[in-house]
Amino acid sequence: MFEYGFSVQNILIGLGIFVVLPVMIVWLVSREKQNKTNRMTEVMLKAIESGTKVDAEFFKNNSQNLSVKEKMLNRLTVACVTTLLGVIILCVAFVVNGIHDEFYEDLYLLLIFAGGVLFAVGIGLFIAYFVGKKMLAKEIEAEDKSLKDDK
């Protein structure tokens, strides 16, 4: 039914997917953050050289400005997308299962694994959202109240 031999091609594909791809993603993200910091530093240096007053808030991270409610809604959005992708991939896997071909049998196992992982992560994020919503209800209410008082 399935032949799992060790060939150079299979090893290179596995290394590419499970080693090189994650390393490249981490490298690109860290490079983007470093470039952003370098650009902000250049702006600050030019402002200091020209004698302009420097704003202390310039280097603060914008993602820290999110309220608890916004963070929870972002988690809910990611949970919905991840669960939906998992369900779609699992449905495609069951359609592929009806095709009797050696290539599609390997694809079926890959799709079942990928869909199952995405579905499980999505369900985990849903659980984290609902538990967090219950635990942080007072903080969310206090933030809403302070926002209404500011307006």
In angstroms, the Cα distances linking 146 to 33, 109, 132, 149 are 32, 51, 20, 5
Lowest mean pLDDT among 25-29, 45-49, 54-58, 105-109: 54-58
**How many helices and strands, by DSSP H and E, does the chain display?**
5, 0
pLDDT score recorded for residue 1? 43
Stated pTM of the model: 0.60
pLDDT score recorded for residue 11? 78
The answer, yes or no, to whether residue 122 has pLDDT greater than 50, is yes
CA–CA separation, 85 vs 91, rounded Å?
10
List pLDDT tens digits, range 41-83: 888 888 888 888 777 666 666 556 777 888 889 999 999 999 9
